[in-house]
Structure 1
Amino acid sequence: MNIIVSGCLLGICCRYNGTGKLSEELAERMKEYHFIPVCPEQLGGLTTPRLPAEKIGDKVILKDGRDVTEEFIQGAKETLKLAQMYDCKLAILKERSPSCGYGKIYDGSFTGQIIDGNGVTAEILSENGIMVIGESKINKLEDIVNNMNNH
């Protein structure tokens, strides 16, 4: 099964601060699944490192106030293209990110407050029939995949 994965979760140094966030639990599953690593922010033309960004309503704003909504939308569209190209039905994305967060994201105040909501990429993938989960659900990956295969 092909699965879109936030590149940072595989240790790729593409986060806003130039680091990765390797998930050992995810890395262990690379033998079982075909992961397609993506960084929507980079695919949208943003640099690494870059200032932190958060969603405020329908906009994505950098900590210095610059609007990067268009870059986030472009990166989401490119990620969707890859998901469709590789027939991915599932995406494992970085939680709370303004791009990849699903269900919970930072509130736009840059204070670490969490609100209900989806990042730009998570929303576009979900709207196009791709199941999105965060890294905290990796321990349920086998059950999720089995359930998907049985439907």
Structure 2
Amino acid sequence: MTTIDEDHTRPEGVDDLTVEALGNISEALEAIEIARGHLYTFHRLSGTADFTLGKGVDQLREAGHTELADRFERELVGRNVLEGRWTFQIMEEYDDGYYATFKELDRLAREQLVAGKRHLYEAELKEARRTAGRGGHEAAPDAED
């Protein structure tokens, strides 16, 4: 079997189940990366909403709706989105806790089991599905096979 490159070649003695397990952990980490992106989207949209709300409240006040503007200002502008937290605090807690732990354990598992190599499952899947010698199916960018 041709391989993509040494970085994506299974170390001697590593069994299929270990490669599959690491593939599933990698897939889970990809989902966590997407979830983290959505949290950052939530962070950005919440901040944008707060500033846009502030503009609307100022306009209510200018239009003479002082009592309603004051209520918005007191109860909503600059309010915590969760108890005691603005979104940046949520992001920091997530990044420093769950996300950092996930990244560290993924790295640790790869180091202990496959010499730190990444995407072995995917590399082997690519090799099994590509047509060797066919344009667009090369093992790697400069491979001749």
TM-score (norm 1): 0.28
Q: Which protein, 1 or 2, shows the higher relative CO under an 8 Å CA cutoff with sep ≥ 6?
A: 2
TM-score (norm 2): 0.29
- Give the helix-richer structure, 1 or 2: 2
- Higher Cα Rg, which structure: 2
